[in-house]
Amino acid sequence: MKLIQIPFSHNCVKVRVALGLKNAAYETQDIAPMDRASVLKASGQGLVPVLVDGSLAIADSTAILLHLEARFPEPPLLPRGAAERAECLVLEDWADQAFMALSRRIAYGNVLARPGRLAAMFFPGESAPARWLKERIARRRVSERFGLSPARHLKDVAEARRLATLAVARLGGRRWLLGDGPTIADVALASMSAPLAADPDLREHPAVRELLAWGASLVPPETVAEYRR
């Protein structure tokens, strides 16, 4: 199997966490965020992650996790019972919908606040003059694509605190959201919330701090360290 990815993308992190829990052998193909040719060739669409498994090319992180569950049933990341399985999928979907876009905006906001950091992430092999020029273009594209602005950031921080409080309450001091082991719901919540650590003030909020500490066993801080430097 081959995972086509942008290494610091939290959707790609989500898949790598699941692959690790499944102890599945795979290789990675890292792409530059602004060059999607290899992704288009492999899957017919431009988003990462894409998992190539034999003749199959599976896009979308949740679809990949469900494919891995069917391909490698042990250890299970979905409960066996129908009701518990449905609850797990609902929680996984909530984590994706609630945190994915919001935490990405917060993380990129932190990156853009530090000149040169976006170029280091997007164009690590380029010469200094080329990186300077390309970063100017990339900063504009990232800001436009994800709708970054100071006003939006303030709203995102408030919403992140609210969502983290809900997530911590749902965990209720338990090790996992459901049952005695990690499920795809845990993988999604830990992966989607991990980039919140990019904001130095936000990560000191009690609920955010507790959520990040909970998720660190699945997504260690160095996995998304690019956002925090």
Homologous superfamily, domain 2-71: Glutaredoxin (3.40.30.10)
Q: Where are the domains of the chain?
A: 2-71, 82-227
Mean pLDDT of the chain: 95
pLDDT above 90 (res 6): yes
pLDDT at 18: 98
pLDDT at 220: 85
Integer angstrom CA distances of residue 78 from 53, 91, 105, 111, 219: 21, 12, 29, 35, 19
pLDDT above 80 (res 23): yes
- Give me the mean pLDDT over the 25-29 stretch: 98
pLDDT at 228: 67
Residue range 106-123, pLDDT digits in tens: 999 999 999 999 999 999
Does CATH place domain 82-227 in 1.20.1050.10? yes
Instruction: Tell how strand 27-30 and strand 2-5 pair up.
Output: parallel
Q: Residue 33: CB partners within 8 Å, gap ≥ 6?
A: 6, 121, 122, 138
Residue range 164-223, pLDDT digits in tens: 999 999 999 999 999 999 999 999 999 999 999 999 999 999 999 999 999 999 998 888
Residue range 65-78, pLDDT digits in tens: 999 999 999 999 99
